[in-house]
Structure 1
Amino acid sequence: MSDFEHASIVLCPAGPMLLRGEHEIQDADGKTHRTVRPVSAVCMCGGSAIKPWCDGTHRLIAAKARGDDETDG
């Protein structure tokens, strides 16, 4: 039996990809980024200002799609 621990990947509906454990991901420019947190959120909507990481922009995109007023709440 191996001591290798499998990292987990969770795809959040209309949200980021959550990576648990150690990963290396490659951004659109081919640059490799290593995860350094126990859980890292990777942008899946394409709108994040800190790609490849999620900054929560997917929430704004969903709100606009629903026609929500951004000044509410």
Structure 2
Amino acid sequence: MNEIRAYPDGPLLVRGDFQLVDEDGEPIPASRRTVALCRCGRTGIPPFCDGTHTLPIKRR
């Protein structure tokens, strides 16, 4: 079964058989059957979540 679950103030968790593609339709390698996709835009490894959303936002 495929599932996409949105966590409040967190990532989208994608489980199952899926293929990720970029805006041009090119495949994005996913090495696992469960991945967390970033929704905050602050990740260092897009499109995957690296937990950056849990860190305080630095103000200039």
Give the structure-1-normalised TM-score: 0.63
Identify if the C-alpha distance between structure 1 residues 29 and 50 changes in structure 2 by more than 3 Å, giving closer, same or farther.
farther
Deviation per CA, 1:19-70, whole angstroms, max 9, x where unpaired?
001222234575432433131000110010000000001101xx349xxxxx
Q: Between Structure 1 and Structure 2, how many residues are aligned?
A: 58
Counterpart among 19, 27, 42 of residue 24 in structure 1? 19
Structure 2 unaligned spans of 5+: none
1:22 touches 1:34 (CA, 8 Å); kept in 2? no
Query: Which one has the bigger helix percentage?
Result: 1
Quote the RMSD (CA, aligned, Å).
2.2
After TM superposition, what 4+ stretches of structure 1 lie above 3 angstroms from structure 2?
A: 26-31
Indicate the residue corresponding to 2:36 in structure 1: 41
Larger radius of gyration: 1
Distance 1:50 1:37 in 2: 15
Structure 1 unaligned spans of 5+: 1-5, 66-73
Give the structure-2-normalised TM-score: 0.74
Q: Which amino acid aligns with 2:43?
A: S
Identity of aligned residues (%): 40
Higher relative contact order (CA 8 A, sep 6+): 2
